[in-house]
Amino acid sequence: MTGARRQGRPTPRRRPWWSVRVGAVQRRMMVVLVVFVAFGLVLGLRCVYVQGLDLAGHADAALMPATQEIPATRGSITDRNGQVLAQSTPAVNITVDPTIVATNGLSIESMSLGEELKAQAGPGIIAAILTSELGGDFQSYYNKLKTTKTGSGEDIRYAMLAQTVLTFTNLQIAARVEALGYVGLFREQAPIRNYPNGSVGSNVVGFMTHDDQAAADGKYPWIGGAGTEYSLNTALSGVDGQELYEWSPYGKIPTDTAVVKEPQEGYSYRLTLDMGLQYMQDKRLADAVRQTGSTSGKAITLAVKTGEILAMSNYPTYDPNDLNSSSPDDRGNRAIDAAYEPGSVQKVLTIAALVDQGIVTPATKVIVPSSVVSGGVPIKDSWSHDTIQLTAAGVIANSSNVGSVLLARQMSKQTMVDYLRSFGLGSPTDVGLPGEASGYLPDETMTDQTRDNMAFGQGLAVTAIQEAAAVAGIVNGGKYVSPRIVKSATDSHGNAVPVPESVTRQVVSPETSKQVVEMMEGVVALNSPALDIEGYRTAAKSGTAEETNPSCVGYCAWAYSYVGVAPSEDPEILTYVVLDHLTATGSGTSEAAPVVKDIMSVALPMFAVPVSTTPASDLPLTW
């Protein structure tokens, strides 16, 4: 039929074009999703393996925490007026880990070509920065930065580039290196210890020395080596802090640090020294040693009533800023660590014990022969004479060995030893300085000959600080005050810190003290006007003792000494000078006394000691 619809299967309908395209995209997305899921699964399994099953094999690739000491700022040392004697200036050592510089802190496997080229340029760029900021040799810096292996093939992880670089300069260097994107330089705290006065008082102040064990332990390696730097080292040092940082197989992570323990600054100490007087005394002693030809000398000036050491000098000495230019023998303190026979200054101690025991008075009459035999050996005076008649005051003024022996024989050995111990002989004074010697004091079992020799200053050994403190105690109303070098201390906040105080004890009666001082005035009167100090009554005693000398065998040299105190009516200042190992003929009066006079002429008005208003005693010296 015309126009009729064909019978049979219907014609299928065709999908729209957009429907076909959407289906394809869905299939592709499904494939991508499956790939991502598979990748995530593999990655997850790998993490589980690395972190949970293979720790040993990959621990070295992890960042590890580590700590480093931060040295505390060392406390300062000043004189009694606040003048700086020792202080620390912040500084660092600049070090390098060449293995970090070689890759600029990156893993070799992960570096791009650009990063490799930048790392290769690092040693030259860093060396140029160091040269411009510090000076020095470019090639030397470059070689240390570039060399990553030892001769045996081991990695070099540490090299010193520069020592004691001021903190400001180090910050400049660090900023320039960081701005260019380089790593591998590190700092070690290394404060600089300065001694503004150089050699003045250096044997008291001390110096710093390297502690190899501390360095091996990774700690700040400098400690006090002598003087107060040594004796007060722990308190001056403070308590170190601690810095936490991350460490990887490629070294320390330069920017990843944190202070976990702040350092505590050390205590600061004010000594009893006066730098003005110390300078003058140092110079005067040095002149005397050179002029007399002695090998060395020591001088002490102290405040009688407080025991404070106002000046303590040694010659030869040293500059703690330049240790290499000095002899180790000159870095100690002979005033406290060198024992010697005191000679006739010891007669002050002998006569004080005799007077205090009521055995003699200044007017006691003594018949003094030309010599006296002791242990089969004749003891004589330093000048020849026939039998003479002296008072006890005359024995002291004329420094008669024979007269001293005859008087001392009236006192038991036990009593003599007890007095000398109470005067501080035979044991350290605990002045507050390291290396103090005890000297040598025989006990009561000594022979008669030893007792006789001790009466005029032989047969025993003392240090200069022991002898000075003993005489000071006798003239100070009979009250011994142990000497001290530390006046006060403060913490980093300025709070007072306790310091050891002087120990006091009555060693002789006030009346004994007065009589002994009057007898000592006779020494000055007998040698006036050479030993007079203008405006002040002065009491004194000279000493001449035999010494051994390295250039010969036995006793073949002399030690000349002199002690002076003023004003006699109320002693405030004592100065004691000892010149060692002289071979020329002389005496304590001729060689050491002028030094004491010059020092005391400065010290007395410096400390505003009132001038004398009463006349000196005029005890009879003969009868």
Q: Is 383 exposed, middle or buried (CB count within 10 Å of its CB: 0-12, 13-18, 19+)? A: exposed
Find out whether 147 and 156 touch, Cβ atoms under 8 Å. Answer: yes
Indicate the average pLDDT of the chain.
Answer: 88
Q: What is the pLDDT of residues 401-442, one digit of tens each?
A: 999 999 999 999 999 999 999 999 999 999 999 999 999 999
* 508-515 average pLDDT score: 98
Supply the pLDDT for residue 256.
Answer: 52
* 239-245 average pLDDT score: 80
3-class SS shares of the chain: helix, strand, coil, % to 5: 40, 25, 35
In a domain, 199, yes or no: no
Q: Examine the domain organization and report whether 189 and 302 are in the same domain.
A: no
Q: Examine the domain organization and report whether 255 and 289 are in the same domain.
A: no
Q: What is the pLDDT of residues 309-318, one digit of tens each?
A: 999 999 999 9
Q: Examine the domain organization and report whether 302 and 180 are in the same domain.
A: no
* 259-287 average pLDDT score: 94
Of the listed ranges 218-222, 282-286, 496-500, the least confidently predicted one is 218-222
Domain boundary at 222, 243, 266, which?
266
Residue 123 to residue 125: CA distance in whole angstroms = 6
Q: Residue 61 — pLDDT band, cuts 50, 70, 90?
A: very low
Q: Examine the domain organization and report whether 250 and 282 are in the same domain.
A: no
Q: Examine the domain organization and report whether 376 and 468 are in the same domain.
A: yes
The closest of 432, 449, 429, 618 to 537, measured between CA atoms, is 618
Of the listed ranges 136-140, 424-428, 525-529, the least confidently predicted one is 525-529
Sheet holding 296-303, edge to edge: 309-315, 296-303, 573-582, 555-566, 539-548
| Residue 277 pLDDT exceeds 90 | yes
| Residue 24 pLDDT exceeds 80 | no
* 270-285 average pLDDT score: 98
pTM of the model: 0.84
Domain count, the chain: 2
Q: Examine the domain organization and report whether 251 and 289 are in the same domain.
A: no
Supply the pLDDT for residue 556.
Answer: 76
Of the listed ranges 181-195, 430-444, 469-483, 500-514, the least confidently predicted one is 181-195
Q: Residue 6 — pLDDT band, cuts 50, 70, 90?
A: very low
Q: Examine the domain organization and report whether 186 and 134 are in the same domain.
A: yes
* 544-567 average pLDDT score: 84
Q: 366: domain CATH number?
A: 3.40.710.10
Q: What is the pLDDT of residues 313-337, one digit of tens each?
A: 999 999 999 999 999 999 999 999 9
Q: How many helices (H) and strands (E) does the chain have?
A: 20, 25
Q: Residue 298 — pLDDT band, cuts 50, 70, 90?
A: very high
In a domain, 386, yes or no: yes
Distances (CA, A) of 540 to 455, 526, 562: 18, 11, 7
Write the CB contacts of 105 (distance below 8 Å, at least 6 apart in sequence). 183, 184, 250, 251, 253, 254
* 601-621 average pLDDT score: 96
Q: Examine the domain organization and report whether 130 and 82 are in the same domain.
A: yes
Supply the pLDDT for residue 84.
Answer: 98
Q: Examine the domain organization and report whether 334 and 477 are in the same domain.
A: yes
In a domain, 67, yes or no: no
Residue 421 to residue 410: CA distance in whole angstroms = 19
Residue 463 to residue 470: CA distance in whole angstroms = 11
Domain interval for residue 354: 275-538+571-606
Of the listed ranges 38-52, 358-372, 408-422, the least confidently predicted one is 38-52
In a domain, 549, yes or no: no
Domain boundary at 215, 243, 266, which?
266
In a domain, 153, yes or no: yes
Q: Examine the domain organization and report whether 284 and 155 are in the same domain.
A: no
| Residue 17 pLDDT exceeds 90 | no
Locate tokens 């030892």: which residue? 150
In a domain, 520, yes or no: yes
Mean pLDDT is highest, among 46-55, 69-78, 241-250, for 69-78
In a domain, 156, yes or no: yes
| Residue 478 pLDDT exceeds 90 | yes
In a domain, 103, yes or no: yes
Residue 229 to residue 86: CA distance in whole angstroms = 9
* 588-597 average pLDDT score: 93
Is the pLDDT higher at 357 or at 587? 357
The closest of 532, 519, 573 to 349, measured between CA atoms, is 519
Supply the pLDDT for residue 41.
Answer: 55
Q: Examine the domain organization and report whether 391 and 498 are in the same domain.
A: yes
* 452-460 average pLDDT score: 97
Amino acid code (one letter) for 489:
A
Supply the pLDDT for residue 60.
Answer: 44
| Residue 512 pLDDT exceeds 80 | yes
Q: 255: domain CATH number?
A: 3.30.70.2110
Supply the pLDDT for residue 367.
Answer: 98
Supply the pLDDT for residue 23.
Answer: 56
Q: Examine the domain organization and report whether 237 and 299 are in the same domain.
A: no
Supply the pLDDT for residue 191.
Answer: 86
| Residue 583 pLDDT exceeds 60 | yes
